[in-house]
Amino acid sequence: MKQKTFTYQFGDESPKAVSYECGESERLRTSVHDGVPFVYANRAGMLALAKLLVKLSLGDYKDGFHVHLRADFGGDAAEPDVLTLLLDESVAEENAG
Average model confidence (pLDDT) across the chain: 91
Q: Indicate whether 91 pLDDT > 90.
A: no
- Cis bond upstream, residue 80 (ω within 30): no
pTM for the complete prediction?
A: 0.83
Amino acid 77: pLDDT: 87
Residue 68 and residue 78 in contact, taking contact as beta carbons nearer than 8 Å:
no
Amino acid 95: pLDDT: 61
The tens digit of pLDDT for each residue in 43-87 reads 999 999 999 999 999 999 999 999 999 999 888 889 999 999 999
Using alpha carbons, select from 51, 34, 57, 48 the residue that is nearest to residue 82: 48
Strands (E), the chain: 28-33, 36-41, 66-70, 81-86
